[in-house]
């Protein structure tokens, strides 16, 4: 096996789990109930700049973030507690829901 072929195979193995579930935005919306306390009903926050805005973010970024919280690769005790209860299907659905919401980006100064 050539190096290039081995690299392609390795990438396919790593990326396969992320493509295993088709996203269901409505299921993500239903699962988002617990997230709303900090991130707001539509992912645009609750007015406290310490909580990230999720609406309009890329679905793959949101899914990776949740997987990283779940695995501990991204450290946050609160998010670890929430993410550890999620299945991969839940993660894909939540990411799709928040990505589908119209978002507004702001920096941490709170200005738009």
Q: Are 110 and 51 in contact (CB under 8 A)?
A: no
pLDDT score of 56 more than 80: yes
What are the CA-CA distances from residue 14 to residues 21, 44, 55, 71 (Å)?
A: 15, 31, 27, 15
Taking each helix axis from N to C end, the angle separating 59-71 and 88-100, rounded to the nearest 10 degrees, works out to 140
Q: Are 69 and 79 in contact (CB under 8 A)?
A: yes
pLDDT value of position 64:
98
Domain residue limits at 27: 23-100
pLDDT value of position 73:
98
Query: Per the domain annotation, does 60 fall within a domain?
Result: yes
Q: Are 39 and 52 in contact (CB under 8 A)?
A: yes
pTM for the whole structure: 0.74
Both tokens assigned to 85: 């209860």
The CATH number that applies at residue 62 is: 1.10.760.10
Instruction: Give residue-wise pLDDT tens across range 17-51.
Output: 545 568 999 999 999 999 999 999 999 999 999 99
Query: Per the domain annotation, does 1 fall within a domain?
Result: no
Query: Per the domain annotation, does 95 fall within a domain?
Result: yes
Instruction: Give residue-wise pLDDT tens across range 71-100.
Output: 999 999 999 999 999 999 999 999 999 999
At residue 112 the predicted structure's pLDDT band, cuts being 50, 70 and 90, is low
Query: Per the domain annotation, does 107 fall within a domain?
Result: no
Query: Per the domain annotation, does 11 fall within a domain?
Result: no
Query: Per the domain annotation, does 13 fall within a domain?
Result: no
Query: Per the domain annotation, does 73 fall within a domain?
Result: yes
Both tokens assigned to 25: 């935005």
Query: Per the domain annotation, does 110 fall within a domain?
Result: no
What are the CA-CA distances from residue 2 to residues 15, 65, 77, 78 (Å)?
A: 20, 33, 43, 44
Total count of domains within the chain: 1
Q: Enumerate helices (H) and strands (E) in the chain, giving the number of each.
A: 6, 0
């Amino acid at each position: 096996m050539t190096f290039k072929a081995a690299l392609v195979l390795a990438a396919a193995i790593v990326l396969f789990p992320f493509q295993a579930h088709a996203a269901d935005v409505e299921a993500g919306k239903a699962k988002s109930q617990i997230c709303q306390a900090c991130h707001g009903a539509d992912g645009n926050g609750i007015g406290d700049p310490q909580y990230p805005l999720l609406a309009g973010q890329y679905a793959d970024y949101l899914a990776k973030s949740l997987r990283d919280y779940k695995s501990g690769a991204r450290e946050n005790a609160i998010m670890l507690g929430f993410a550890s209860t999620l299945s991969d299907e839940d993660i894909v659905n939540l990411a799709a829901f928040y990505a589908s919401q119209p978002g507004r980006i702001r920096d941490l100064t709170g200005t738009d």
